[in-house]
């Protein structure tokens, strides 16, 4: 059965991007193998927010050509990479997730940004949370887990250390079962 997985990097002080969406803090770690390829082999679709999508297409070649990408946006997308399956969606994220599941039997990757991650956690639509901690303190920017208030119970499944001090934490996310009184 496929899983819905948040897989993301974060600074030690909790940021996924610096001020003005700056990601330069990641540059010294770009060559480190932190299990991405093994993770990606099990992915059948990715869900991204519009800002994350536009940052990727503005700065790199589109890296997800072999899987459909669902981009959450009410506004028309400016760029779409040739040959990529980009599906612009809006509305309820639970419906978006169900649409993604119709495209694949493999895992669904919630790729960011922070607001999308927070929504998936708060609506308890996540099976696993993979956070790679990057040993950097940047002090300001976009916090990953701001406004998360209803994620469920996180159970540490495993940790792994990588070169240059990267540490990956993998949590299983168990929903909070609410009982009717």
Q: pLDDT averaged over consecutive 10-residue blocks of the chain (181 residues)?
A: 95 96 93 90 96 90 92 84 84 93 96 94 96 97 93 94 96 76 48
Give pLDDT, residue 74. 87
CATH 3.40.430.10 fits domain 9-165: yes
C-alpha 5/C-alpha 173 separation (Å) is 10
Q: Quick one: pLDDT at residue 109? A: 97
pTM value is 0.91
């Amino acid at each position: 059965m496929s899983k819905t997985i948040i897989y993301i990097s974060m600074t030690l002080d909790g940021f996924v991007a610096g001020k003005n969406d700056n990601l330069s803090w990641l540059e010294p770690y770009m060559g480190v193998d932190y299990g991405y390829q093994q993770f990606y082999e099990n992915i059948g679709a990715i869900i991204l927010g519009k800002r994350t999508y536009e940052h990727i297409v503005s700065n790199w070649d589109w890296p997800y050509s072999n899987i459909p990408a669902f981009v959450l946006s009410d506004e028309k997308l400016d760029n779409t990479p040739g040959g990529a399956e980009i599906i612009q969606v809006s509305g309820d994220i639970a419906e978006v997730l169900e649409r993604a599941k119709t495209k694949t039997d493999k895992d669904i990757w919630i790729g960011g940004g922070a607001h999308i991650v927070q929504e998936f956690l708060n609506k308890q639509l996540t099976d696993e949370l993979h956070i790679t901690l990057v040993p950097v303190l940047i002090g300001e920017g976009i916090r990953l887990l701001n406004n998360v208030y209803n994620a469920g119970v996180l159970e540490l499944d495993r940790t792994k250390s990588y070169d240059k001090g990267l540490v990956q934490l993998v949590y299983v996310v168990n929903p909070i079962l609410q009982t009717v009184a």
